[in-house]
Structure formats: structure tokens, C-alpha cells
Amino acid sequence: MAIVSILYPHQRSMEEARSAADNFAGKLQNKLGVNCTWQGDTMQLERQGVNGALTLAPGEVCVELKLGMMLSPMKGQIESEIQRQLEKYLG
């Protein structure tokens, strides 16, 4: 099992960051079948082989994922894509 942990700084208000996270979640749901549900300022992310969360804080987003055995070899690619998407939606 591999762990992905990303801290991404942002300059948006919490409302703007949440809206951007919702857009990001929509893409995850449509393209990858990831279930996304909010619990306070934390969005739970679940799919077969992936379990984790995206947590919003003032000035920062934290993404933590546990990758199952099948996705562990793709950890680097997954980290890069998350970084790219965070830049797209929050940059």
C-alpha cells in the first residue's frame, strides 16, 4: 500500500476553495468513478483501490490518499496529476 500526501498552498477564500474542490471532485467522479462526500471542510474520497481525503484550510489544501496494491506502482503519476489539477483549480 502506498501513501500520497500533498500540501498545496492557495490564495483563495474558503468559499472559493470549496467551490474549486467541488469542480475537482466532479472531474474525479466523472472520469474515475471516485465517490466524494463532504464532512465539514474535509471531502472523503473513495473508490476501489483508493481511500483518502481532501481537507481545506485557510491558505492550504491537504490531499491524503491510501493506494491499494494495484495502484501503488502508479503513485508518482497519481501525485503528479493531483498536483496538476490542484494548480488548475486553485492556482
Per-domain residue ranges for the chain? 2-90
Q: Where are the alpha helices (DSSP H) in 1-91?
A: 14-32, 75-90
d(C-alpha 19, C-alpha 5), whole Å: 21
Write out the chain's pLDDT in tens, 91 residues.
Answer: 899 999 999 999 999 999 999 998 888 888 778 899 999 999 999 999 999 999 999 999 999 999 999 989 989 988 898 888 889 888 8
Topology annotation, domain 2-90 = TATA-Binding Protein (3.30.310)
Q: Could you tell me the pTM of the whole model?
A: 0.87
Element (H, E) at 4: strand 2-9
What strand order describes the sheet that includes 2-9?
2-9, 60-67, 50-57, 42-47, 35-39
**Which residues, listed in sequence order, are joined to residue 42 by a DSSP beta bridge?**
39, 55
